[in-house]
Amino acid sequence: MINFDTFLLSTFSILGLFSAFLVISLKNAVHSVLFLVSCFFNFACLLLLLGAEFFSFLLIIVYVGAIAVLFLFVIMMLNIKFVPALSTYYAIIPLGFIVTFIFLFNFVSVLDSTDLLRFCTYNIEWISWFNEKNVKSNTIVIGQVLYSYFVFLFLLAGLILLIAMIGAIVLTMHYKNSSKAQVIELQVVRSAKDSVKFIKLRN
């Protein structure tokens, strides 16, 4: 008899694989991005069922809330809903078989070297959030470790990202001599005598 946690795990797994297949098979780019969001959501629910709520929320916030939405905006702005090149679709089929074979080979080798299959079959337990409300979650533990032992590296990584962002903005800014722009220094040093002029009109 299948219990409720195994049913949820199987349901989210099947929906995630089905969404991933539709991402690479649909010709409409907008529909592919929407099924990509569905794929991220289903696998985030799988992580949530397995007790990794930090990675689950991180997957939803980063990939669904930022990257997938960015893909959707770019596709809608560039107006590339349909892919016209159909000849290249059949050209990448051998490459797909090679990548699939490598993935299955690595997956089988992992199953042979570990006891992952028996763990996924027998040791899956439903996580009751009411029973774990008094226990530290992995989000709290990661936050304590990150902001205590590795706080210097965390701040250094944020500083490097800030410098990289400022550098990218500076490199992409191009000033033209012919363009009219405000010069703040000249506006600040101006006086009322130089700004206001009285012109005598003829009667």
Mean pLDDT of the chain, nearest integer: 76
User: Within a domain: residue 75?
Assistant: yes
What is the structure's pLDDT at 156? 93
Pair of tokens at residue 7: 């049913």
Sign of the C-alpha dihedral computed for residues 105, 110, 116 and 118 taken in this order: positive
CB 19 within 8 A of CB 43: no
Kindly report the backbone phi and psi dihedral angles of residue 126, in degrees, each rounded to the nearest multiple of 5, phi listed first: -70, 130
Q: What is the mean pLDDT of residues 182-191?
A: 75
Question: Has residue 99 been placed in a domain?
Answer: no
Residue 100: inside a domain: no
Which residues, 6 or more positions from 8, have their beta carbon under 8 angstroms from its beta carbon?
45, 49
**Domain-embedded: residue 105:** no
Question: What single string gives the DSSP state of each residue in 69-116?
Answer: HHHHHHHHHHT--B----HHHHHTHHHHHHHHHHHHHHHHHHHHHS-H
Residue 106 lies in a domain: no
Domain assignment present for 97 = no
For the chain, percent of residues with pLDDT exceeding 70: 75
Residue 98 resides in a domain = no
Domain tally for the chain? Answer: 1
CB atoms within 10 A of CB 108: 10
Q: What is the CATH number of the domain that holds 51?
A: 1.20.120.1200
The single-letter DSSP state of residue 24 is H
| pLDDT tens digits for range 5-52 | 778 888 888 888 898 888 888 877 778 888 888 888 888 888 888 777
Q: Is residue 109 part of a domain?
A: no
Higher-confidence position of 88 and 28: 28
Containing domain of residue 185, as a range?
4-84+115-191
The reported pTM is 0.56
